[in-house]
Amino acid sequence: MATNTEVAGENRERLEANLARVEELQQRLLAAISRRKPTPQALNGPENELYAKAAQAYWQEWLQNPAKVLENQVQYWGKTLTHFVEAQQTLAKGQLKAPDDPGPKDNRFKNPLWDSHPYFNFVKQQYLINAEAIREGIADLDGMDPKEKRRLAYFAQQITDMFAPTNFLATNPDALMKAVETEGESLVRGLENLVADLEANNGEMLVRLADESAFSVGENIATAQGEVIYRNRMMELIQYSPTTDQVHETPVVLFPPWINKFYILDLKPQNSLIRWVVDQGYTLFVVSWINPDATYADIGLEEYIEEGYLKAMEVVKDVCETDRINAVGYCIAGTTLSLVLSLLKKRGDKSVKSATFFTALTDFSDQGEFTPFLQEDFAAGIEQEIDQEGILPSFIMARTFSYLRSNDLIYGPAIRHYMMGETPPAFDLLYWNGDGANLPGKMFKQYLRGLCQRNEFAEGTFSLFGETLSVKDVDVPLMSIATETDHIAAARDVYRGVQMMGSKSKAFVLGESGHIAGIVNPPSRVKYGHYLNDDLSLSFDDWKAGADKHEGSWWPHWEGWLRKRSGKKVPARTPGDSPYKSLCPAPGTYVAIKARDQNR
């Protein structure tokens, strides 16, 4: 048995080793931060004018309705004082426990000590009281423009979330217990994780959500069999290998968003939409977009359409020896597909037989949760960044989306990764989420100003290729799939855009869950259901109230609709059996380009 002296010696050696590691990590930390390129101030927070407007509105409220302001303050003081007295009374009884009321449920406070320990319970309860007071104070401001008030509420919530006691070592029981159990090793590992993330992202603070070493594109994700048969500066076109002897005559061309990589639709065999479509007897082509660098600064929607959409359609028609194709567009690629359909109508081109839209917005009149990011100061900051870099670096879009769900996508992972020293999970969806793409400067300005801010496509005034495009020009048979909890393309906004389209044959499907899980919802899982209603003349609320709920995936319903528009069966087409020979196996080369490497 080891003596106390031996144990003390071992502990001292471990402490000295950890201190040496900390000193080395500090040097690496400083070196990583020094590589960070400064971003425009507007992208890091709102302009001071917003706070000035809030102060003015609060002052007006005080002058015009002092009773309401005083009532809010008195309620806050009362709750705070009551909370303090209850804690004092419990301690005065000589009981080291929290008051009986454990407070509202919040995933951040799952550790039992938040409810049972008087110190942690007091901190938690006071934080929740403060947070509620801030929310109510903003909600009661009547003298602010609704958009400004929404922005103020958003940024106030970000500040509230940032100051949650779980985000600080001294007030996080999980992190403190882990540090004690590991004799401080968890804190050193956490610092190592922090430094590694900063080094990997050129000094930017981006929390790694998944264990990147667990995945390799083309090896254990994105493994559906196919070949790249065409490549230009904008995209690689993948033709997937058939799994049936016969296929429908009309091929399917799928355009994924270029904000992220296409393999969200082929993460693994069990949930691969790509594999499933091929297994239903379709010749499927998927575009894999380039991950642009600064040389793409002057690339706009024109190039995405001409060298992406139109070129892909031309190649597919040549390969399959058909005059028409069925097109699918996901998210921003669905928005752009609607622009393409308007353009083709102007040109009298009937190449697209039907169109399917996955979570695609065409009417941006309600900016929803993106309201804070679509005001002039933020838009000007985006343009300043683009003018400086030539592109919108992927981390800015990733950060923007993450802050819409900051507790789940920023603070929670940061606590586990940096404060507790845990390795991120080997989760393919989170790996994909972190594998973003840069956006060309000109394209994003067109999208931000013309579509998001000025809503020109819905207004019928969006100009491209010398044509004025309108959502009303979209007149091919179409199906649009939205999802119930989508925070990027809200279902009611998607629905409103579909209502504006000029098609005589159109269908709308509302899937359960969100922007990703609601789309990547294979029939084998029977996890999320969907809603159907043929009457698209109704308001969204009335449409949903009258919709029929169906269990399981919407994929079979869509395939039944697509089958009616896909022609007779013909012998299966194999990649390479056409003038377009294989350039390389799927998933291709463009998908492997990392945004962080482009931005060095």
Tell me if 409 is assigned to some domain: no
Q: In this structure, are 251 and 175 located in the same domain? A: no
Catalytic-labelled residue, pool 320, 331, 452, 584: 331
- So what's the pLDDT on residue 24? 78
Which domain does 570 fall in, by range? 226-371+428-598
Per-residue model confidence as pLDDT tens digits over 54-79? 555 544 554 455 555 455 655 655 66
- So what's the pLDDT on residue 58? 46
Tell me if 378 is assigned to some domain: no
Average pLDDT estimate for 116-135 = 87
| Helical pair 66-92 and 118-139, crossing angle rounded to 10 deg | 170
Q: What string of H, E and C letters represents the secondary structure of 57-90? A: HHHHHHHHCHHHHHHHHHHHHHHHHHHHHHHHHH
Token readout for 234 is 């904008």
Q: In this structure, are 21 and 152 located in the same domain? A: yes
Average pLDDT estimate for 473-478 = 98
Token readout for 60 is 């007006």
Average pLDDT estimate for 519-541 = 96
Tell me if 67 is assigned to some domain: yes
If one compares 144 and 559, the residue with the highest pLDDT of the two is 559
- So what's the pLDDT on residue 334? 98
Per-residue model confidence as pLDDT tens digits over 127-181? 898 888 888 888 887 777 787 778 778 888 888 898 899 999 889 999 989 888 8
- Chosen domain end from 182, 212, 241: 182
Q: In this structure, are 177 and 289 located in the same domain? A: no
What is the percent of the chain where pLDDT is above 70?
85
- Chosen domain end from 127, 151, 182: 182
Q: In this structure, are 175 and 301 located in the same domain? A: no
Tell me if 3 is assigned to some domain: no
Q: In this structure, are 16 and 127 located in the same domain? A: yes
Q: In this structure, are 527 and 444 located in the same domain? A: yes
Q: In this structure, are 119 and 249 located in the same domain? A: no
CATH at 519: 3.40.50.1820
Neighbour count for residue 385 (Cβ, 10 Å): 22
CA distance 118 to 234: 60
Tell me if 105 is assigned to some domain: yes
Q: In this structure, are 267 and 161 located in the same domain? A: no
Active site residue 320: no
What is the chain's mean pLDDT, rounded?
87
Tell me if 131 is assigned to some domain: yes
CA distances from 339 to 447, 465, 475, 519 (A): 12, 11, 12, 22
Q: Is the Cβ–Cβ distance between 446 and 454 less than 8 Å?
A: no
Per-residue model confidence as pLDDT tens digits over 255-292? 999 999 999 999 999 999 999 999 999 999 999 999 99
Tell me if 514 is assigned to some domain: yes
Per-residue model confidence as pLDDT tens digits over 404-450? 788 888 889 999 998 899 998 999 998 998 898 999 999 999 999 99
If one compares 83 and 169, the residue with the highest pLDDT of the two is 169
Q: In this structure, are 448 and 355 located in the same domain? A: yes
- So what's the pLDDT on residue 42? 61
Q: In this structure, are 473 and 545 located in the same domain? A: yes
Tell me if 391 is assigned to some domain: no
What is the percent of the chain where pLDDT is above 90?
55
Q: In this structure, are 232 and 173 located in the same domain? A: no
Residue 94 has pLDDT above 50, yes or no: yes
Average pLDDT estimate for 375-395 = 85
In the chain, the number of structural domains is 2
Q: In this structure, are 296 and 162 located in the same domain? A: no
Q: Considering only 219-228, 353-362, 387-396, 532-541, which range has the smallest mean pLDDT?
A: 387-396
pTM of this prediction? Answer: 0.86
- Chosen domain end from 146, 163, 182: 182
